[in-house]
Structure 1
Amino acid sequence: MKPSQNAASVFEQVGIALSESSTPIPTRLVIPSDARRKASSEPALSARPSRRPGRILDEVEEIPDEEPIERFDSHPPVSHATDAAVIALSLQEMGSIQLPLWYQPSKADLFQQHFTSHFISNFFNPASFLRKHNMWAYHLPAILASTTSPAVEHATRAATMAFYGTKAGDDSVKTEACRWYVKGLGLQRNELQKASSPGRGQQLDSTSVLAPLMFSIFETIMMTSKFGWVQHLHAACKFLEVIGPEACQDGLGYSLLRSVRLGVVYCAISWTTPPIISNEEWCTIPFAIHGKDAYDSIDDVFLQVPQCVILRTRYQSLVASGMPEEADTLAPELESAARTLLQRLQQWWAQHVHELHEPWTQSPITPQASPHHRTERPRPTSTEFVAPKTFQSTFNASTIARFSSTSLIAYGMLRLVSRQVGYGAEIAAHGESILSAFRYQERAGAAHTGVIAMLHPLTVLSFLAVDRRQRDAARDAMLAWGRARGVGKFVEGNMRDDVGS
């Protein structure tokens, strides 16, 4: 029986019993005077020292026995049926107090706080050097409390629930995350359309970038579509373009821009057009206040890779289409772009080698070096790269791995257009650099490896390594790392994409 039905039955039974009773129901409560005197003379209970003995009774005026105290002195005498109705109504009012026993307020906010805390604690490592690139994540609770964007709320809930459900192996949470993801997509489309309208950009702030960034994280976890995470990064770049580089010089905008750059660098190889944030103004204006570290600088170089990739794709298409003459015409342009990229990499190395250098005793490798003419040196010159075996910080390991992966892309393009197979020693040296960085990150702990920091170099190595042992080692490391981080589907999906030769 339902609670409401049970209560109604009780009320009805009480009413019938009272109406059929032959015993008069008193409507006046009588307290004899001798009882009042006896109560007032009794000592106080030790359990209630704060109450003066007989205080309540003392406040009652002495009334003779023949003058009882009126209980319902404001009402005229009533019939037994009326008394039954009053008692039934009183029971009904008492029953209403029990409603919270079967009705509880929504706990959605509490669960969201739990999912968000779990996401911040496990997806972003506070001890990692990438903390300053992902500083926005540690302010996520405050952002959610103040944002007026439904898309940001839906995207955050979808990403945090997807990550929690994957790590905990809870399919119901992952299913619910997908529901929030679908709802949020429509909201993001509306915001993106409004952002594209004239004058709308002045009404947007940097918080709008958070929704596509969280949707991209959701896709790296759930992989509902193969390139969904890339599409969301495109949307993030669109929002950045609307708000402008000046809005990304400090605070939340600055932190979000650096996170978007990390993602764009990873997928830039597959972009058919260079991203807006690879423009010169986006590589200078946002860093006018805080400047750049070595990691930001190497990202500047890597953001020029899409230009080279476009040329490489055209060259490969011409070769595959049986148009060798047209391919030969394009080859010098591709070679020039690859050498320009290598030159920028060497300039970066010369500028940052002393802050990144460790006391390695490996062989320096230059673009023209031969494996038969290596010389052992305790310290490389400013233009020579040394394949390291050990590192002293996660920052050094990840930064040099990014440098080596970019170098692999440049050497891979030169190898593609070269009349003779070459650059094997350079590719092997940079491949060993990436594997050494990953081994160091593993010893430091899986949490010290950023989501993008090591996955991208390993992906590049898995396609461009000349040595099959390096290629297999990179793929095995990617799979193990991705499963441990809850992004196994994302890793497996990208291992099937040709980013290299």
Structure 2
Amino acid sequence: MLLPDSLANNVRWPTIRLSLQAASLAHYAVEAAEPVATVQSREIYVQALKLHRRFIRENMGSAMFPSSIALTAVVSNVILAFFEAVRCSHVDAYGFHVSAAAEILEIIGPEQCRSGLLNQLFFTLRSQMAFVSFIRHTPFKLATEEWAQVLFSDQTAKPMSERVMDSIIVLLQILSTCDTAESFDVQDVRISVFHIHSQLEELWTAYSGSGTSFDQALISVAAPDSPINQNPVTILTTVYFNCASLILSHLSAAYMDDHLADITSIASCASILSGIEYLEKKSIGCAYMRMMLPLVLIGLQSPEVGQRRFAREKLQTWRAQRWMSGLCTVSLHHLDNYVKLARDDSMED
């Protein structure tokens, strides 16, 4: 993401510059295992945070504010979120920054996010907003039909990974409603699940160019007979397909009496884990951030204890190796909370 000089070098409000310094130094501290840089990055982060809060208070108190102000606020929040992804200061801080940035984008509106830097920011935030909303059980932002119509600024159609992400976001919203709402219409859930499954079937057929159905496609992406050529983009896309399938299976088992759902779920999780192994071996840096949601989904929804354990161990390994250790900490925290709540519920029963 290229930042305009007017943003990065704003003299009056150097919030972006300070945020960049904090995040860059934190990243360096992790890579070099440099404790002095770690301390310095935290000090700069605190300065950036204070200045950012003051900036918001003094410039965004009214309903109307210049687009340059909104852009500065969004960029600052995104960079502060990256700091938290690298080195967690508090388990809620990453989600706070992502949600704040998404909230400002919602004020700006989808029409303004169809090109330029705002378009890049939207696609940077969208999948992470889904992750944050899912683990925190908070309302989904950037998730309406209007936002789903936003394309990459230089393309006439979304990449397949983003089209599948559209379905994942809708499924996560359904899942969140089922988990948290006091009441909901089961028939609506069944209709939605059937509709989304049909959509994904069509997408998979178009993507794979093969005669295999979406359900039959839940094979390891490393399998010799996989219809998909293996490269980071196709692996990521296939992982997303399997994330969607995992959520569908979870909902089908709960609300559609699908007795084969567990088999499908295990196959989906195996494919996701295989894809993660591929991306890890190829040292695809962005994969560590993008794979947080898939790993948390496996940790929560796989019917197989071994897969749930493997997902947790993968997060623990990444944290120990300092790969997006902040996000790993956040993910593990919420997995632990889920286990604790489930244990408390079983004791009450």
> What is the aligned partner in structure 2 of residue 463 from structure 1?
300
1:404 Cα deviation after fit: 1.6
Q: Could you report, residue by residue, the CA deviation over 1:267-297 in whole angstroms, capped at 9, with x for unpaired residues?
A: 2213444333111222214557623111111
SS in 1 for 2:290: coil
Q: What 5-or-longer segments of structure 2 have no aligned partner? A: 223-228, 343-349
Partner residue, 2:205: 353
* Pairing 1:434–2:272 present: yes
The alignment status of 1:210 with 2:210, answered yes or no, reads no
The answer to whether the 8 A contact 2:88-2:325 is kept is: no
Contact between 2:85 and 2:324, CA under 8 Å: does it hold in 1? yes
Aligned residues: 329
State the 1:408 CA deviation.
Answer: 1.9
User: 8 Å contact 1:233–1:260 — kept in the other structure?
Assistant: yes
| Structure 1: gaps of 5 or more residues | 1-135, 319-329, 360-378
Q: Evaluate the alpha carbon distance shift between residue 251 and residue 345 of structure 1 in structure 2; reply closer, same or farther with a 3 A threshold.
A: farther
Query: Is the contact between residue 216 and residue 229 of structure 1 (CA under 8 Å) also seen in structure 2?
Result: yes
Name the counterpart of 1:423: 261
Aligned to 1:176: 40
CA distance in 1, matches of 2:4, 2:66: 25
Amino acid in structure 2 at the alignment position of 1:297: R
**Matches of 1:144 and 1:338 in 2, distance apart?**
47
* Whole-Å separation in 1 of the counterparts to 2:233 and 2:101: 26
Instruction: Output the TM-score relative to the length of structure 2.
Output: 0.82
User: Cα offset for 1:392?
Assistant: 1.0
Match of 2:192 among 340, 345, 355: 340
Asked if 1 retains the 8 angstrom alpha-carbon contact of 2:131 and 2:293, the reply is yes
1:190 to 1:299, Cα distance in 2 relative to 1, 3 A: farther
Aligned residue for 1:234?
99
Does structure 1 residue 278 correspond to structure 2 residue 120?
Answer: no
Match of 1:258 among 123, 145, 150: 123
Amino-acid identity (%): 20
Q: Measured at CA, do residues 425 and 301 of structure 1 come closer, stay the same or move farther in structure 2, by a change above 3 Å?
A: same
SS of aligned partner of 2:179: helix
CA distance in 2, matches of 1:419, 1:300: 25
CA RMSD of superposed structures (Å): 2.9
Match of 1:380 in 2: 212
Matches within 5 A, 1:101-500: 136=1, 139-140=2-3, 142=5, 145-148=8-11, 149-193=13-57, 194-204=59-69, 206-285=71-150, 287=152, 290=155, 291-314=157-180, 330=183, 333-334=185-186, 336-337=188-189, 340-341=192-193, 343-356=195-208, 379-381=211-213, 384-390=216-222, 392-417=230-255, 423-443=261-281, 445-498=282-335
Are the equivalent residues in 2 in contact too, given 1:273–1:306 (CA < 8 A)? Answer: no
Do 2:78 and 2:97's aligned partners in 1 also have CA atoms closer than 8 Å?
yes
Residue type at the aligned position of 1:294: M
Report the alpha carbon displacement of residue 474 of structure 1 after superposing the two structures with TM: 2.1
* AA partner of residue 158 (structure 2): K
Partner residue in 2 for 1:71: none
Contact 1:458 1:475 in 2 (8 A): yes
Classify the secondary structure of the residue corresponding to 1:254.
Answer: helix
In structure 2, the CA distance between the partners of 1:436 and 1:166, relative to structure 1 (3 Å rule), is: same
Alignment partners' CA distance in 2, 1:334 and 1:183? 49
Aligned in 2, Cα 1:141/1:284: closer, same or farther, shift over 3 Å? closer
**Does 251-260 or 196-205 show the bigger shift?**
196-205
Which is richer in helix?
Answer: 2
**Residue 144 of structure 1: CA displacement?**
6.0
Contact 1:233 1:264 in 2 (8 A): yes
Deviations 1:47-104 (A, max 9, x none): xxxxxxxxxxxxxxxxxxxxxxxxxxxxxxxxxxxxxxxxxxxxxxxxxxxxxxxxxx
Contact 2:276 2:291 in 1 (8 A): yes
The 3 A distance-change label for structure 1 pair 277 and 433 is same
1:439 corresponds to which letter in structure 2?
E
Aligned to 1:84: none
Task: State which structure, 1 or 2, has the greater radius of gyration over its C-alpha atoms.
Answer: 1
Q: Distance in 2 between matches of 1:279 and 1:480?
A: 36
Alpha-carbon distance in 1 for matches of 2:188, 2:122? 30
TM-superposed CA distance for 1:222, in Å, is: 1.8
Which structure is richer in relative contact order (CA contacts within 8 A, separation 6 or more)? 2
**Given the superposition, is the C-alpha separation of residues 388 and 168 from structure 1 closer, same or farther in structure 2, using an over 3 Å criterion?**
same
- Alignment deviations for residues 154-206 of structure 1 (CA, whole Å, 9 cap, x no partner): 21111111111122111221111111211222222233343241321445353
Distance 1:268 1:216 in 2: 15
State how far apart, in whole Å, the 1-side matches of 2:202 and 2:216 are.
8
